[in-house]
């Protein structure tokens, strides 16, 4: 089973796209946050990203909300990068 290339749900207006990595140039490289759980995230790992809002979220913070039948993938996605 693979990750959906894009997701949309009621907690955000725009569609978020799966990206291999997102580094926010406005913040220190070590201070990249997931907007869903508000914890630090590794900018070298995949995220679901809204370019219009500069909104990024851990894969495991998004997938259970939009596709509860899909198991957690963050550890799998991390290992294939």
Q: Quick check: is 1 in a domain?
A: no
Residue 81's pLDDT band, with cuts at 50, 70 and 90, is: very low
Residue 6's pLDDT band, with cuts at 50, 70 and 90, is: very high
Q: Quick check: is 72 in a domain?
A: yes
CA 21 → CA 10, 15, 18, 46, 48, distances in Å?
24, 17, 9, 5, 9
Q: Quick check: is 51 in a domain?
A: yes
Q: Which helix (H) or strand (E) holds 77?
A: helix 74-80
pLDDT in tens, 7-20: 887 778 899 999 88
Q: Quick check: is 31 in a domain?
A: yes
Q: Quick check: is 52 in a domain?
A: yes
Domain count, the chain: 1
62's CB contacts (< 8 A; 6+ apart) are: 7, 9, 16, 36, 48
pLDDT in tens, 37-71: 999 888 888 889 898 888 888 888 888 665 555 65
> What is the extent of the structural domain holding 66?
6-80
């Amino acid at each position: 089973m693979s990750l959906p290339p894009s997701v949309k749900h009621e907690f955000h207006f725009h569609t978020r796209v799966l990206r291999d990595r997102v580094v926010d140039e406005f913040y220190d490289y070590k201070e990249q946050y997931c907007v869903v759980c508000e914890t630090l995230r590794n900018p070298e790992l995949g995220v679901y990203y809204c370019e219009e809002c500069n909104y990024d979220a851990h894969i495991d913070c998004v997938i259970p909300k939009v596709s509860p039948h899909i198991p957690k993938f963050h550890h799998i996605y991390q290992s294939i990068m």
